[in-house]
Structure 1
Amino acid sequence: MNKNIKIALVDDEVLLIEGLSLIFSKIEHINVVKTANSGLAFLKYLENTKSDDLPDIALVDIQMKPMDGFELVESLKGQYQDLKIIILSSHYKSNIVGHMIKLGVSAFIPKNANRDLLVEAIEAVDKTGVYFTEKDKEMLVQYMTSSTKKISLNANDELSEREIEVVKLICKENTNQEIADKLFLSKRTIENHRQRILDKVGAKNTVGLVVYAIANQIHPLPQ
């Protein structure tokens, strides 16, 4: 890895933050640039930080007070759309995973995950904007098939064959440049395709595109 990935840790469990900080201190390309013990403290930090110094990714807990992780994610997605969010929580259930995905969270990692999984998720989110484990996909199926919590992402206009190709490659965690190389197109053309697809689907980001692709059987789920 050539790029240094700047991350923030937001959790009201001090020991957890200290433990994660120690883990990441031994990983050369992942730098913890901010730790915060509440969502409000993290928002205040962002307000007073220059855009060039903002973290690339925030690891956020769900259960915090006075602002919980759900409220923090909604606020972050409204004000800092370029900030990628990984939820790190012990509440690993299909309805929570589904809700977080709809909000535009890039990954959902249980707190009992090992170091390798955490690093893999951070690297994937930094590169492609999304990271789904096989367990996430299984939970997404449960969420999508729930009669009360079906995901409602539908394209107003049908996707073209080229746009479907792009969506499939996005789901396989290819970057814009990698997609451009595979389709023999310019990176700018792929960026335009991606934005047009987002507009058609009504998704906010790459996570929404993956959810749309799974819901419409463009991207297969594990059997």
Structure 2
Amino acid sequence: MLVKPQYKVLIVDDHALFRSGLRLLISSSGRYEVVGEASTGFEMLSMVSVLRPDVVLLDIAMPEMDGIEAAAQALSLHSDLKIITLSMYGQQEYYFKMVELGVKGFLLKNSDIIEVFSALDAVMDGGSYFSQELLFNLVSNLRTNNDNIAIDDDNALSTRELEVLILICQGLTNHEIADKLFISKRTVDKHRANILEKTDCKNTANLVVYAIKKRLVEV
């Protein structure tokens, strides 16, 4: 008995061979169905309105309308649309803008299919996703200033919470953070809980997105 896919995917890239290969690989999953392909941002916008995909795999660099403008217009019309950006090395300057627009995931175009499915699963389950290679690159540029970072008018990360946030984003465990900051693991556990609550984040990928939004990352 065939199981109907849970989610519809739209692939947007100006290279037909790349789209075809990605479509074939995604179609091997029972959870996702590729409902369309677009080669430009204009095509994407018309397809999103007709096909109503759950998630879009969107290239940044395209002719006529780039991925940034396409994402902005699509999300203004369909705020619940999930978008995962497909990027190349050297395009980090676009990440701030894409995160601000509401893009949920970032994949390098040379990612393997396992990571593509990891990104799709994370985003469709309500989270965010960064390619591991992108994540390592970004956290290496995390700032280490001691300024308080405002969450809203009534709350902010303390200097210590900011230090813990940066170390979390760098992949350190709570035990390693405790050793590095000369505090107890229980104290780190408390700081981590406070950070997740204040930032409304669920995991490290979400915290990196938060760090980008707050300009804790230099790209």
- TM-score, normalization: structure 2? 0.66
- Runs of 4+ aligned residues of structure 1 deviating over 6 Å after TM superposition are 159-163
Please state whether the residue corresponding to 1:171 is helix, strand or coil: coil
Hey, what's the Cα distance between the residues in 1 that align with 2:133 and 2:153?
Answer: 30
| Of 8, 15, 30, the match for 2:17 | 15
Residues 100 and 214 (structure 1), Cα distance of their counterparts in 2 relative to 1, 3 Å cut: closer
1:4, distance to aligned residue in structure 2 (A): 1.4
Hey, what's the Cα distance between the residues in 1 that align with 2:102 and 2:111?
Answer: 21
Aligned: 1:98 with 2:96? yes
Unaligned runs of at least 5 residues, structure 2: 158-189
Counterpart in 1 of 2:174? none
1:164, distance to aligned residue in structure 2 (A): 5.1
Residues 92 and 58 (structure 1), Cα distance of their counterparts in 2 relative to 1, 3 Å cut: farther
1:94, distance to aligned residue in structure 2 (A): 3.0
Task: Output the amino acid matched with 2:202.
Answer: C
1:68, distance to aligned residue in structure 2 (A): 0.8
Residues 158 and 119 (structure 1), Cα distance of their counterparts in 2 relative to 1, 3 Å cut: same
1:6, distance to aligned residue in structure 2 (A): 1.2
For 1:191-210, list aligned pairs within 5 A: 210=209
Kept in 2, the 8 Å contact 1:97–1:140? The answer is no
Hey, what's the Cα distance between the residues in 2 that align with 1:54 and 1:6?
Answer: 8
Counterpart in 1 of 2:40? 38
Would you tell me which structure has more strand in proportion to its own residues?
Answer: 2
Which shows bigger deviation, 2-11 or 120-129? 2-11
Residues 101 and 70 (structure 1), Cα distance of their counterparts in 2 relative to 1, 3 Å cut: same
1:138, distance to aligned residue in structure 2 (A): 3.9
Unaligned runs of at least 5 residues, structure 1: 147-151, 174-205
Query: Could you say what the CA RMSD is over the residues aligned between the two structures, in angstroms?
Result: 3.8
Please state whether the residue corresponding to 2:152 is helix, strand or coil: coil
1:166, distance to aligned residue in structure 2 (A): 3.8
Hey, what's the Cα distance between the residues in 2 that align with 1:18 and 1:213?
Answer: 32
- TM-score, normalization: structure 1? 0.65
For 1:65-76, list aligned pairs within 5 A: 65-76=63-74
Please state whether the residue corresponding to 1:101 is helix, strand or coil: helix
Task: Output the amino acid matched with 2:153.
Answer: N
Counterpart in 1 of 2:164? none
Identity across matched positions, percent:
28
Aligned: 1:25 with 2:24? no
1:18, distance to aligned residue in structure 2 (A): 0.8
Hey, what's the Cα distance between the residues in 1 that align with 2:46 and 2:32?
Answer: 23
1:141, distance to aligned residue in structure 2 (A): 4.1
How many residues were matched structurally?
178
Kept in 2, the 8 Å contact 1:9–1:34? The answer is yes
1:163, distance to aligned residue in structure 2 (A): 7.8
Kept in 2, the 8 Å contact 1:144–1:215? The answer is no
The structure having more radius of gyration, on CA atoms, is 2
Counterpart in 2 of 1:184? none
Counterpart in 1 of 2:153? 156
